Structures are given as C-alpha cells and as structure tokens.
C-alpha cells in the first residue's frame, strides 16, 4: 500500500509539472503580430538562483513606451519574473522564501537598463548567447510583453524601484510557486522563441542554463551585434 501511494504521489507530481509547463501564465506565445527586420542576438543570464533575458531594448521599448519613458535610450534591457514579495525584498527571510515556494503568490517583472554587452557587464554571471531569427525574436518579445500586468487603461503597473542601479519592478501576470518559478518563466520564453526546451521540468537555474548550452542550434543565423531594428 505504501508503494502504491508513493507511485501515485510521483504520478501527481509529474502531472502537475506537465500541466504547469503547458498552461500556467504567462503562457507560451505561438503567434505574434510583431514584425522584426533582422536576426537578433539575445542573452540568457543566470544570477544565482535566478535566470532571465537580456535583449536589445529598441523593440520592447516600442511595444511598452513606459519603459522608454522611465529608462530612456539604452542598448539593452534585462528582464526577469518572480515572486513579488521575495524578488522585491532586500531581506530574503526564511518566511518570505517559504511562502514564495509553497503558496501561489503574486508575480513581479524585474527590468533593468544595461549599458554594455552582457558578457562584459556581468563578469561574474553565467551568460549564454543565442542568435534568434527575426520571427523567433518577435515571439520572445511578445512573451516578455505579455508577462506585464496591464490595468483597465492598458498600461503596465509600476511597483517599486529595483534593488540595483537602473532597475525597476512592475506588476506581473501569473502566480509564482514551486512549479512555476523564474526559471520556468525563462524556459517558457525560450519555448516561445521556438527553442527546443520543456518548461515543465525547468525549476532550477542550472537546468535552464544546461539546456541552453546543450541544445543551442549548430547553425545559428548571423546576428546583428546590436539590434538597430524596427518593430511594427
């Protein structure tokens, strides 16, 4: 009987993981109305437990003018997604950590202006670089855009200043919990960009980064070193 319960528990866990990867907000983006004119180089960045994206800023700022107003011209922007209380807190207490993991909690989007190439700007971070075709990049931008909560007027909602220089937090879509972490979000963004990854099992940062390194296409498209591109 004990063995049967253990099997049922494992089966339920796998089911939740699979369902999380398929249905949890923000959803994987499969179509987009955004048009980008060229292939683009993007970066997947790991900061300890967290992963996120660094992308050229022009297209996402054209889609979300609030970012352009707050950050001004910047060559790159970093984006992450996570638990609202934990991500915004300078004091990562045990209580805040456990609540983020064990109960569905409100999400937040982290944004930061990056003035230099990510590999140079983050000398101590793990950075993986991908060259995306124009459609792939447009899908990723659409996914990041959909990660921002919008109010009744359609505007994204500022939450608070970030903990690092040139960073801000905005209210996010979806809920954070054990099977829907910042790393699941990153994997879902990669999935949106038609990268071969399963978001359901990407709970930890190391799992995401290994998948990027292992599954990077052998013949990536030629990329602009810095996107001077237009989105329509």
Q: Tell me the pLDDT tens digit for each residue of 187-202.
A: 999 999 999 898 887 8
Cα distance between residue 187 and residue 197, in whole Å: 7
Q: What is the pLDDT of residues 102-125, one digit of tens each?
A: 556 789 999 999 998 887 888 888
Query: Is there a domain that residue 59 lies in?
Result: yes
Asked if the structure places residue 124 within a domain, the reply is yes
3-state DSSP helix/strand/coil % of the chain, to nearest 5: 40, 25, 35
pLDDT at residue 108 in the model: 92
Question: pLDDT of 123-165, one tens digit each?
Answer: 888 999 999 999 999 999 999 999 999 999 999 999 888 888 8
Q: Is residue 77 part of a domain?
A: yes
Residue 224 domain flag:
no
Q: Is 226 a member of any domain?
A: no
| Beta strands at 50-56 and 76-83: parallel, antiparallel or unpaired | antiparallel
Mean per-residue pLDDT, 49-53: 93
Identify the CA nearest to 78 among candidates 121, 134, 37: 121
CA distance linking residue 34 with residue 28, whole number of Å = 15
Confidence of residue 96 (pLDDT cuts 50, 70, 90): very low
Domain range for residue 58? 2-215
Distances (CA, A) of 5 to 2, 8, 10, 35, 178: 5, 5, 9, 51, 21
pTM higher than the cut 0.75: yes
On whether residue 115 sits in a domain, the answer given is: yes
pLDDT bin (cut points 50, 70, 90) of residue 1 is very low
| Backbone phi and psi for residue 33, each to the nearest 5 degrees, phi listed first | -95, -5
pLDDT at 222: 58
Evaluate whether residue 229 is within a structural domain.
Answer: no
88 pLDDT band, cuts 50/70/90, is low
* CB-count exposure of residue 74 (10 Å: 0-12, 13-18, 19+): middle
Domain total in the chain = 1
Is 232 a member of any domain? no
């Amino acid at each position: 009987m004990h063995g049967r319960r253990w099997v049922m528990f494992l089966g339920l866990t796998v089911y939740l993981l699979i369902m999380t990867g398929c249905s949890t907000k923000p959803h994987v983006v499969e179509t987009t109305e955004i048009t980008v004119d060229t292939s683009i180089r993007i970066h997947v960045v790991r900061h300890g437990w967290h992963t996120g994206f660094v992308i050229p800023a022009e297209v996402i700022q054209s889609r979300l003018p609030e970012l352009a107003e707050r950050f001004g011209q910047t060559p790159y922007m970093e984006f992450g997604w996570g638990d609202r209380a934990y991500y915004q807190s300078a004091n990562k207490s045990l209580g805040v950590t456990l609540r983020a993991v064990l109960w569905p909690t409100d999400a937040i989007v982290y944004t930061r202006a990056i003035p230099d190439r990510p590999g140079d700007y983050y000398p101590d971070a793990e950075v993986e670089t991908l060259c995306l075709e124009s459609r792939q990049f447009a899908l990723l931008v659409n996914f990041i855009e959909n990660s921002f909560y919008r109010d009744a007027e359609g505007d994204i909602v500022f939450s608070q200043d970030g903990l690092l220089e040139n960073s801000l937090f905005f209210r996010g879509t979806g809920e954070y919990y054990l099977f829907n972490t910042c790393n699941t979000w990153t994997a879902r963004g990669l999935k949106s960009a038609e990268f071969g990854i399963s978001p359901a099992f990407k709970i930890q940062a190391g799992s995401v980064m290994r998948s990027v390194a292992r599954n990077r296409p052998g013949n990536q498209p030629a990329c602009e070193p810095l996107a001077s591109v237009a989105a329509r």
